[in-house]
Chains A and B, each alone.
Chain A
Amino acid sequence: MTESSKFTRREIIGGVTMALLPPLAGAAEVPSPVATLESEDMIVTLQVNNHVHRLPLDPRATLLDTLRERLSLFGTKKGCDHGQCGACTVHVGGRRVLSCLMLAKQAEGKAITTIEGIAGEDGSLHAVQQAFLDHDALQCGYCTPGQIMSAIACISEGHAGSPETIREYMSGNLCRCGAYAGIVAAIQQAAT
Chain B
Amino acid sequence: MRPIRHLTPASAEEAIHSLATAPGKPRLLAGGTTLIDLMKLDVEQPDLLIDITRLPDLREIHTEGDALLFGALVHMSDVADHPVIKRDYPVLSEALWRGASQQLRNMATLGGNLLQRTRCAYFRDTQFPCNKRVPGSGCAALEGINRGHALLGTSSQCIATYPGDWAVALIAMDAAVDTLSPRGIRRIPVAELHRQPGNTPQIDHALAPDEMIIRTRVPASPLGKASTYLKIRDRESYAFALTSAAVALSMEGDRVREARIALGGVATVPWRAQKAEQSLIGKTLDEAAARHAGALAFEGAQARPQNQFRLPLGINTVVQALMIAKRRA
Q: Report whether A98 and B107 are in contact in the complex, using a CB–CB cutoff of 8 Å.
A: yes
Q: Give A148-168 as 1s and 0s: 1 = Cβ < 8 Å from B's Cβ atoms.
A: 001001100101000000011
Q: Is B186 an interface residue (CB 8 A)?
A: no
| A105 contact from B51, B97, B237, Cβ within 8 A | B51
> Are the C-beta atoms of A97 and B1 separated by less than 8 Å?
no
CB atoms of B237 and A167 under 8 A apart: yes
| Identity of the chain A residue whose Cβ is nearest the Cβ of B39 in the assembled complex | A60
The reply to whether A101 and B102 form a contact with Cβ atoms under 8 Å apart is no
Contact with A along B95-109 (1 / 0, CB 8 A): 001001111101100
- Quick check: B103 and A97 within 8 Å, CB to CB? yes
B3 near A: Cβ within 8 Å?
yes
Tally of A-B Cβ pairs under 8 angstroms: 86
Cβ of A121 to closest chain B Cβ, rounded Å:
27
Contact B107 A39 (CB under 8 A): no
Q: Which of A35, A82, A96, A171 contacts B40 (CB 8 A)?
A: A82
Q: Chain A residues near B97: list those with CB within 8 A.
A: 168
A185: Cβ under 8 A from any B Cβ? no
B4–A39 touching, CB < 8 Å: yes
A150 partner, pick from B4, B53, B103, beta carbons under 8 A: B103
Interface centre among B32, B97, B102 (most CB of A within 10 A): B102
- Given A62-B36, A82-B40, A168-B237, answer yes or no on A103-B6 (Cβ-Cβ < 8 Å): yes
B101 engages A86 (CB within 8 Å): yes
Would you call B4 and A59 a contact (CB within 8 A)? yes
Q: Are A106 and B101 in contact (CB under 8 A)?
A: no
Q: Give Cα A171 to B101, complex, Å.
A: 6
B37, CB-defined interface residue at 8 Å: yes
Return chain A residues, CB-CB under 8 Å to B6: 42, 59, 103, 105
The chain A residue with its CB closest to the CB of B38 is A82
Given A59-B5, A60-B1, A101-B37, answer yes or no on A106-B106 (Cβ-Cβ < 8 Å): no
B309 in the interface (beta carbon within 8 A): no
B6 CB, nearest partner CB in chain A, Å: 4
Chain B contacts for A168, CB-based, 8 A: 97, 236-237
Q: How far is it, in angstroms, between the C-alpha of A1 and the C-alpha of B226 when the chains are bound?
A: 64
Interface flag for B279 (CB, 8 Å): no
Question: B237 and A171: CB pair below 8 A?
Answer: yes
Is B33 interfacial (CB-CB < 8 Å)? yes
In chain B, positions 85-126 with a C-beta closer than 8 Å to chain A are 97, 100-104, 106-107
Contacts of A122 in B (CB 8 A): none
Task: Report the separation of the CA atoms of residues A82 and B103 in the bound assembly, to the nearest whole angstrom.
Answer: 13
Interface contact B100-A172, CB-CB below 8 Å: yes
Residues of B with C-beta under 8 A to A169: 102
Chain B: minimal CB distance from A11 (Å): 28
Contacting residues of chain A (83-116) with chain B, CB-CB under 8 angstroms: 83, 86, 89, 95-98, 101-103, 105-106
Q: Is the beta-carbon distance between A101 and B100 smaller than 8 angstroms?
A: no
Please, which residue of chain A has its CB at the minimum distance from the CB of B41?
Answer: A82
Question: Are A98 and B103 neighbours in the complex by a CB distance under 8 Å?
Answer: yes
Do the beta carbons of A40 and B103 come within 8 Å of each other? Answer: no
In the complex, which residues 1-47 of chain B have their Cβ closer than 8 Å to any Cβ of chain A?
A: 1, 3-6, 8, 29, 32-33, 36-37, 39-41
User: If A96-B103, A153-B102 touch, does A101 touch B36 (CB 8 Å cutoff)?
Assistant: yes
Across-interface contacts of B77 in A (CB, < 8 A): 95
Cα A169 to Cα B100 in complex, Å, equals: 10
Give residues 54-97 of B contacting A (CB, 8 Å).
Answer: 77, 81, 97
Chain A residues near B53 (CB, 8 Å)?
A: 106
C-alpha spacing A157/B33, complex, angstroms = 21
* B-chain residues with CB within 8 Å of residue A60 when the two chains form the complex: 1, 3-4, 39
Measured CB to CB, the nearest residue on chain B to A36 is B3
Known: A102-B32, A103-B32, A171-B238. A86 touches B103 (CB 8 A): yes
Instruction: Return the CB mask of A16-55 against B: 1 if under 8 Å, else 0.
Output: 0000000000000000000100111010000000000000
Chain A residues with Cβ below 8 Å from B51 are 103, 105-106
CB distance from A146 to the nearest CB of B (A): 9
Given known contacts A95-B106, A157-B102, what 8 new A-B pairs fall within 8 Å (CB)? A40-B5, A81-B40, A82-B37, A83-B33, A96-B102, A101-B104, A172-B103, A173-B101
What would be 13 A-B contacts, judged by CB atoms less than 8 Å apart? A42-B6, A82-B37, A83-B37, A89-B103, A97-B107, A105-B6, A105-B51, A106-B29, A106-B51, A106-B53, A159-B102, A171-B236, A172-B100
B interface residues with partner A (beta carbon < 8 Å): 1, 3-6, 8, 29, 32-33, 36-37, 39-41, 49, 51, 53, 77, 81, 97, 100-104, 106-107, 236-238
